[in-house]
Structure formats: C-alpha cells, structure tokens
A and B are shown apart, each in its own frame.
Chain A
C-alpha cells in the first residue's frame, strides 16, 4: 500500500494538479478570462440565489390548446361539409369531440370519407407514431363524431413549447439582460432564468401575453345588441375593447391579415396628436391582402384585435396600399414599446401560465455570498485546528489532503460549468466533514494496528488497506443519496446534490491516492521508529 512506482506517483500528482488548475479562472475577472483560449475559459456560474435574478416557470395552457384544437376542427368540419355540399342540422363541440348531425343519412358515406381526410398522422411524416390526429366514428346513422385524442393534444402542446421557446427568447433578448436561460422542462413547461433582474414585473408582462394580433372586419350588418342577448351570428365573435369603458364589438371570425404577416413593428409618436403609437409593416402577402380588403371596404370599420381584445376599430377612409400602417389606442410610451416588442417576436401558439416564480434581489445574493464564505472559512478553520490537535503531523497531512480535495471540487465544478448555489456551498462545507472522516478512518485504523503490535510501517500499510474498503462502502451510500437528490431536486437543491456528489468522488480519489502518497513519501523520508498518532 505504501509503495508507489515513479510513474504512478507522477500520474497522481499530475491528475490532482490539473483538476485543481481548472478552478483557476474563477479567481480572475470575467473580462480577463474571456481573452484566454476557449478550453481555459470554463468557470463556475453563480446560482440565481447568489447573484440575484428571476426564475420563472411557465406552463403551456393545455386546456386552451385543447379548446383551440376542437374549435379549429369544428371550423374544418363546417368547411369540408360545405365544400362537399353535405347538409347538416347540428355542429357542436362536446367534451373532447366535435359532433355533427347530418340532415340526410344517405350522405353519411360521402361525409365520412371527406371528414376522414382531416385526420393526419401525428408527429409529421417523419417519426410518426402511427397514431392519427382525429378519430372519426359514426353513430346512429346520421351522427358523426370526431374525437381529438390525448396524443393529438400532447403533440400540439409539444409543438407549442418548441415554438414558444423561440418566441420567448426573442422577447427576453429585447430586455437587454445578460445570458438569459430559456429551457424546456418536462412535456409542457418552459423555464426562464434571467440573472440580475430585480423586478420581474415587466418580464412577466412580456411572457404572459400571447400577442396574437389580427386585423379583422367589424360586422356592421348585425346590431351589437342582438349579440349581447346571446344571439351572435356563428361567423362572428363578440369582443370588447381593451380600455375602459369596455365597448362591445361584433367582429367577423375571418382574419383579414394576421400578426404573423408583420415584418416589423416600432414604437413612435403620432405626428398630429403626439400620442404614442405602434407603426408596423406587412410582408408582401400581407400587404396584398390588406390592400385588397381596404379597397373593398372603404367607409367601413375594421378592427385590430390583440389577444381577443379590440385595441382600436378605425373606419377605412381610403385604401391602404403601401403595406404599412400604425396602431393608435391609448398607449403609454411603455405599452407602445412593449407591444412592438411582442409583435416583432411573434405570437405564442398558446397562452402560457406562470406557475412558479422565484426572484432574489442583488442585496440578498451578496449577503448570501458573504455568509457562505464566512461559514466556510470558520468551518474549515475549526476542522483544521481540530485535526492538527488530534493527529499532529498526520493531521497536517489530512489538512493538506482536504485542501487539495476542496480545490479539486471547484476544479470539477468549473470544468462542468456547474452552478454554485448557497446550498452548494453548504455541500462543500459538508464534504470537508466527509473528507476528514476518510482520514480519521485511516488513522484510527493505523492506531489500532499499532496497538495490535505491528511495526510502524506495517501498521500504516495495514491501516490504509483495511480502511480504504470501508471508505469506499460508506461513500457509495452517501453518493446514492446525492444522486437521488440530484434527480428529484431543482435549482438550489440540485446545486447541493452536485457539490455533494462531486465531493464524494474527489474524497475517495484523494483518500486512495493523495493521502496515501503523502504518507508514503513521509515514511520513505523519515523511516519512523514509532507512529506519531
């Protein structure tokens, strides 16, 4: 146990040294580190609890996705049946299905064939799961039911998450913050972490809006009063203005131009009234559609609808052919700015709900760093003194080994670009406890072997070989706990699991190599006649 070949000793020293060196970039300012070669730039990332910032967990509103999907299916059915000239008496959404009652049972074969075409394989052409988006069944001859399965909804939700992540990235980047993290979590969630953000109110406003903008015509043929009594025509929506007093409008469901066809949106001021406005520009297709609609409807009002609220409903005075325009509607400078950010970034495919928010101010973060440092220094200091008092020169060896161990933990953490949280610092402090234990196990074993009458070198040798098995066993159990913690934990708790887990690995490594090498070197040098512990 005490004999090392030259190569082995060199390999141990080199490994420990290299791992420790990876911790070096943490001691230099970021600007300096950035000028170094890429491989040397890896460093620890401070968790949001230490540097301050906002952690927001968003969830795609599955109920809204389902409702959207069902309504879209209903509209598809209406279109298909009209094109196929199949008459029907009822078309409703019921539960997870769309039900249509045909006027004539004889047409059911035609209707079924046409409606079955609406169903497409899930997951696109590639990697399809064999499941279909719709399950079309027929009942009692003239009733056809199109069921939207859970798999279809899940598929939509998954797509929504993918699209939403991109849109959120564009929105958050407009805030001009440093290194925001936007990540999918599970099937229907998105995690947004913005370091350094003190007040997430604005961020939440930007994330919480779907920003679905439509240009639609106002239905002037039907009085609004009729719709208010619950008898709105099926091709219209009853919507309200976004500002108080809430004015009802009857707006056609058909979208003239959608927000997806905008190429740019900028905040500005109206030249005459100097009110804040948002000016926008359509792409070619959008411009053509808008020009055509305004040509056909001069003198009639159209509506700009944002998230099912009417922002404004101006009357078309003349055809708008240039493909650009402006929205005015009691904006403040801030809200005009926000709306243009949202329009540029695009609409979310489905509404997002904030289900968790954790924000730490910079003051608390700085306090936590100071406290973490303080407790680490005090803890380490106490342990160092205690070990020296208990084991003398061997205590000193233990302290050196533990110091190398801690440096290696920071090296590995930097190499992984891991996040250091306050519980993570606690993990390091506790690792010091575990690391010391491995030395205690070895030394106590050596003491026993000495008492059993072995010669010093024999006792040290036996002490190591017997204690190392125990060290391995006991550390694996703690490692299992750390692994579980990593698996179930989020944020700060996961940070704790990471440092604890890495700490256990480096502890086992140092116990098996570094400590042994130090003691072996000392034995060779001093040739002790008795063991001084």
Chain B
C-alpha cells in the first residue's frame, strides 16, 4: 500500500531566513491586535459583563423577531438584543445588566418570562449578577497569568532560561493574536473563551516544546554547527510531525466546528484560529528563530543535563 506523504523527507527550508519577514509581520499583527482590543474591544459575554441571556424557541416554525423585540422593549430593561441562533425558531435574547444589584437581575428575568409567557420554550436562561461577573473576569485573567507563569517555570527547569523566555514570547504572541481575532469577529468573550485561550496555550507550547526538544538534542550532538543552521535543521526535521499533528487536530476541530452545534461554536472557532493558524506558525516562525537573539549557549546547563551523556554516546 502506498502511504500518504504530506511532507517529503529531508526538507531544507530556510526558516531562519524567513524571520526577517515573520518577525515584522508578527510585530505589526500584535500591535494591530492590541489596538483592536483597546479601540474596538471585545464582545464581553454575560459571564464577564453580567446581565441576562435567554435562548428561547418559539412554538411557531419561525420566530417573529420584530414582535418579540416590541414586546421586550416595552419592559424598560434597557438594551435588549435579539439574535437568530441556530434554527429559524431559536432566538437568543440578551439583556444588559440591570442597575440595582442582584435582586434587579432576578426581577428582570421574571418580567421577561411574564412578557413572553408560554409562546416560547425556554431552552436556556442565564443570569449573572454584577459581583459574580467581576469575579469571573478576574479569575480568568489570573488563571491565564498563572498558566503562563507555571509553564515558564517548568520550561526553565527542564531547559534553559532562554528556551523558557522564547516559549513565553511565543505564548504571549499567540494569546494577543487570538484576542485580536476575537475582537475582529466579535465572538462572545466568556468563560469558554478563557478555556479556549488556555487550550491554545497548551497546544502551542506542546508544539514549541517538541521543536525545542529537538534543538536541545542537536545542540548536544553538533557542537560546532552554526546556530541558524542548527535551528533550521531542527525545524525541518520535525516539520513532518508538526504538519501531520496539526492536520489531525484540525480534523478534530473542524468536526467540532461543523457538527458541535451552537453551544460550542465560538469555542471551536477560536480554537481553530488559535491552534491551527497561529499555534503552528508561532512554533516554527517565532519560537525557534527567537532563540538566535536570546543567545542559547553551548556547554551550559542544558548540555550537562541528566541525559546529555546518553545523547552524546549515541551521536558519536
């Protein structure tokens, strides 16, 4: 049987040369993403902004949005957003946080339920009060920070500080670009998005670590090879694995994206962007070449690590 060969053996792409293009591109994109965050903003979902979210299904085959809008606007609940969600009979109702604390949110739910009555089936009702939303947001931000920090410590322990720093720069780059993506698409930014960001982080690192592992091995084996050449060789040797792994992850993600339903659609979309587009690019074009600038040394800690003896005897 002839097997599928997606990446030919012994590729010799000059990835390091490409850094002269990839670094500026990444810098510009990152600045753009940060700008988007500040000037365009994220579409904070109910988890972080508080308020009401209801998914209702009208008992008629198609929901009469304008009639519903008229009914709900009459309740004096401030901004009411209606959106078709999934099928034609499904409507997502979003109502901004009510002034007056937690009790006011509950009163608003009762009003909406009273106004819509039995004309719809309530598929989902979420009410998040002001205190919970601010806590969830700070938890999310702290969690992201903690994760980056924890991974940094681990990498520092396992590799050298230059690797840890390189991985962290790559990490932040991933997160920033993904936040930019969320800003452009105005995907709901909620707890699930934090989950997506953390998973992107994990995946991207996973990838970076695989390449770093190879770089470390090469550093032990070829003591005299110029740095750029060595990095190039490492990325090229792991290229086939990078591509195949990303293809399988992409297949799994696309299945989630197209068949997972509305509930995890934004999660799957964010993941697809972060893992498939950004993560792969980052490990190859940012995480590896940045080591040139960070001055990964030879003959330092990494080379006298516990298994360096084994590696050098095998490489004779």
What is the interface of chain A, defined by CB distance below 8 A to chain B? 49, 57, 59, 198-201, 204, 208, 353-361, 363-364, 367-368, 371-372, 374-376, 378-380, 382-383, 386-387, 389-392, 422-423, 426, 429-430, 432-434, 436-437, 440-441, 444, 447-448, 451, 462, 466, 469-470, 473-485, 487-490, 492-493, 496-497, 500, 532-533
Query: Cβ of A368: which chain B residues have Cβ within 8 Å of it?
Result: 261, 263
Residue B40 at the A interface, CB < 8 A? no
A480 touches B150 (CB 8 A): yes
Would you list the 6 A-B pairs with minimal beta carbon distance, nearest first? A379-B255, A371-B261, A488-B143, A481-B202, A478-B202, A375-B259
B256 touches A355 (CB 8 A): no
Q: Can you offer 16 A-B residue contacts whose CB atoms are under 8 A?
A: A57-B132, A355-B102, A355-B128, A358-B126, A359-B122, A375-B260, A387-B248, A391-B3, A422-B263, A426-B264, A484-B143, A488-B139, A488-B143, A488-B194, A489-B191, A532-B3
Out of B248, B251, B268, name the residue touching A440 (CB < 8 Å). Answer: B248
B132 touches A356 (CB 8 A): yes
Q: What's the Cα separation between A60 and B57 when bound, in Å?
A: 34
Residue B241 at the A interface, CB < 8 A? yes
| Cβ of A157 to closest chain B Cβ, rounded Å | 15
Q: What's the Cα separation between A532 and B142 when bound, in Å?
A: 48
Other A-B contacts than A354-B105, A481-B205, A484-B150, 14 sampled, CB-CB below 8 A, are: A208-B106, A358-B125, A360-B123, A361-B124, A390-B244, A423-B195, A432-B252, A441-B241, A470-B213, A478-B206, A488-B142, A488-B194, A490-B136, A500-B202
Q: What's the Cα separation between A118 and B97 when bound, in Å?
A: 43
Out of A359, A389, A441, A496, name the residue touching B195 (CB < 8 Å). Answer: A496
| Cβ of B170 to closest chain A Cβ, rounded Å | 12
A436 touches B245 (CB 8 A): yes
Q: What's the Cα separation between A196 and B129 when bound, in Å?
A: 23
| Cβ of A420 to closest chain B Cβ, rounded Å | 14
Query: Cβ of B105: which chain A residues have Cβ within 8 Å of it?
Result: 354
B256 touches A357 (CB 8 A): no
What is the interface of chain B, defined by CB distance below 8 A to chain A? 1, 3-4, 6, 9-10, 55, 57, 101-103, 105-106, 109-110, 113, 121-129, 131-132, 136, 139-140, 142-143, 146-147, 150-151, 154-155, 158, 191-192, 194-195, 198-199, 201-203, 205-207, 209-210, 213-214, 217, 237-238, 240-241, 244-245, 247-249, 251-256, 258-261, 263-264, 267-268, 271, 307, 314
Out of B109, B198, B241, name the residue touching A484 (CB < 8 Å). Answer: B198
| Cβ of B142 to closest chain A Cβ, rounded Å | 7
B122 touches A444 (CB 8 A): no
| Contact residues of B: prevailing secondary structure | helix
Query: Cβ of B121: which chain A residues have Cβ within 8 Å of it?
Result: 361, 363
| Cβ of B306 to closest chain A Cβ, rounded Å | 11
Query: Cβ of B131: which chain A residues have Cβ within 8 Å of it?
Result: 59, 355
B255 touches A429 (CB 8 A): yes
Given A356-B132, A360-B124, A361-B124, A473-B209 contact (CB < 8 Å):
yes
Query: Cβ of B136: which chain A residues have Cβ within 8 Å of it?
Result: 490
Q: What's the Cα separation between A488 and B135 when bound, in Å?
A: 10
Query: Cβ of A374: which chain B residues have Cβ within 8 Å of it?
Result: 259-260
Q: What's the Cα separation between A379 and B260 when bound, in Å?
A: 10
| Cβ of A55 to closest chain B Cβ, rounded Å | 9
Given A441-B241, A478-B203, A485-B195, A392-B143 contact (CB < 8 Å):
no
Given A474-B210, A488-B143, A481-B151 contact (CB < 8 Å):
yes
Q: What's the Cα separation between A24 and B263 when bound, in Å?
A: 28
Q: What's the Cα separation between A441 and B251 when bound, in Å?
A: 18
A485 touches B143 (CB 8 A): yes
Q: What's the Cα separation between A481 and B122 when bound, in Å?
A: 35
| Cβ of B171 to closest chain A Cβ, rounded Å | 10
Query: Cβ of A436: which chain B residues have Cβ within 8 Å of it?
Result: 245, 248
B209 touches A488 (CB 8 A): no
Query: Cβ of A386: which chain B residues have Cβ within 8 Å of it?
Result: 4, 247-248, 251
Given A364-B55, A423-B264, A354-B146 contact (CB < 8 Å):
no
Q: What's the Cα separation between A477 and B202 when bound, in Å?
A: 6
Among residues of B, the one whose C-beta sits closest to the C-beta of A387 is B248
Query: Cβ of A473: which chain B residues have Cβ within 8 Å of it?
Result: 158, 209-210, 213
Among residues of B, the one whose C-beta sits closest to the C-beta of A370 is B261
Max count, chain A CB within 10 A of own CB: residue among B10, B128, B195, B198: B195
| Cβ of A526 to closest chain B Cβ, rounded Å | 15
Among residues of B, the one whose C-beta sits closest to the C-beta of A186 is B135
| Cβ of B184 to closest chain A Cβ, rounded Å | 23
B3 touches A49 (CB 8 A): no
B261 touches A367 (CB 8 A): yes
Query: Cβ of B198: which chain A residues have Cβ within 8 Å of it?
Result: 481-482, 484-485
B307 touches A469 (CB 8 A): yes
Given A382-B251, A451-B9, A474-B210, A356-B147 contact (CB < 8 Å):
no
Among residues of A, the one whose C-beta sits closest to the C-beta of B86 is A367
| Cβ of B157 to closest chain A Cβ, rounded Å | 10
Q: What's the Cα separation between A473 and B206 when bound, in Å?
A: 8
Q: What's the Cα separation between A496 and B260 when bound, in Å?
A: 14
A390 touches B147 (CB 8 A): no
| Cβ of B146 to closest chain A Cβ, rounded Å | 5
Among residues of A, the one whose C-beta sits closest to the C-beta of B240 is A444
Among residues of B, the one whose C-beta sits closest to the C-beta of A451 is B9
B106 touches A474 (CB 8 A): no
Query: Cβ of B267: which chain A residues have Cβ within 8 Å of it?
Result: 423, 426
A364 touches B259 (CB 8 A): no
Q: What's the Cα separation between A372 and B259 when bound, in Å?
A: 8
Q: What's the Cα separation between A370 and B57 when bound, in Å?
A: 18
Query: Cβ of A482: which chain B residues have Cβ within 8 Å of it?
Result: 198, 202
Given A356-B128, A481-B198, A441-B210 contact (CB < 8 Å):
yes
A533 touches B3 (CB 8 A): yes
B199 touches A422 (CB 8 A): no
| Cβ of B210 to closest chain A Cβ, rounded Å | 5
Among residues of A, the one whose C-beta sits closest to the C-beta of B251 is A382
Q: What's the Cα separation between A437 and B241 when bound, in Å?
A: 8
Query: Cβ of B206: which chain A residues have Cβ within 8 Å of it?
Result: 434, 437, 474-475, 477-478
Among residues of B, the one whose C-beta sits closest to the C-beta of A198 is B122
B106 touches A379 (CB 8 A): no
Q: What's the Cα separation between A487 and B150 when bound, in Å?
A: 13
B256 touches A375 (CB 8 A): yes
Among residues of A, the one whose C-beta sits closest to the C-beta of B155 is A477
B195 touches A429 (CB 8 A): no
B252 touches A429 (CB 8 A): yes
Q: What's the Cα separation between A436 and B245 when bound, in Å?
A: 7
A353 touches B103 (CB 8 A): yes
Q: What's the Cα separation between A448 and B214 when bound, in Å?
A: 12
Query: Cβ of A198: which chain B residues have Cβ within 8 Å of it?
Result: 122
A422 touches B102 (CB 8 A): no
A354 touches B123 (CB 8 A): no
Query: Cβ of A367: which chain B residues have Cβ within 8 Å of it?
Result: 261
Query: Cβ of B1: which chain A residues have Cβ within 8 Å of it?
Result: 392
Q: What's the Cα separation between A378 and B147 when bound, in Å?
A: 31
Max count, chain B CB within 10 A of own CB: residue among A462, A466, A478: A478
Q: What's the Cα separation between A496 and B247 when bound, in Å?
A: 22
A375 touches B151 (CB 8 A): no
